Amino acid sequence: MDSAPEGYELNGDLPPDSPGAPDTWPPLWGRGGPINVNHYTNKKSAAESMLDIALLMANASQLKAVIDQGPGFVFFAPLVALISISLVLQVSVGALLLFLVRYDLNNPAKHAKMDFLNNLVTGLVFIIVVANILITAFGVQRPRQ
pLDDT tens for the chain, residues 1 to 145? 445 455 555 555 556 566 655 555 455 455 556 666 667 777 777 777 778 788 889 899 989 989 988 888 888 999 999 999 999 999 999 888 887 777 777 778 888 888 898 899 899 999 999 999 999 888 876 555 5
The pTM assigned to this predicted structure is: 0.66
Q: Report whether 28 contacts 36 (CB < 8 A).
A: no
Q: Provide the domain count of the chain.
A: 1
On whether residue 15 sits in a domain, the answer given is no
In which domain, by residue range, is 101 found?
37-138
On whether residue 109 sits in a domain, the answer given is yes
Question: Hey, is 14 helix, strand or coil?
Answer: coil
On whether residue 102 sits in a domain, the answer given is yes
On whether residue 6 sits in a domain, the answer given is no
On whether residue 2 sits in a domain, the answer given is no
On whether residue 24 sits in a domain, the answer given is no
Neighbours of 111 (CB within 10 A): 13
On whether residue 19 sits in a domain, the answer given is no
Q: Report whether 37 contacts 10 (CB < 8 A).
A: yes
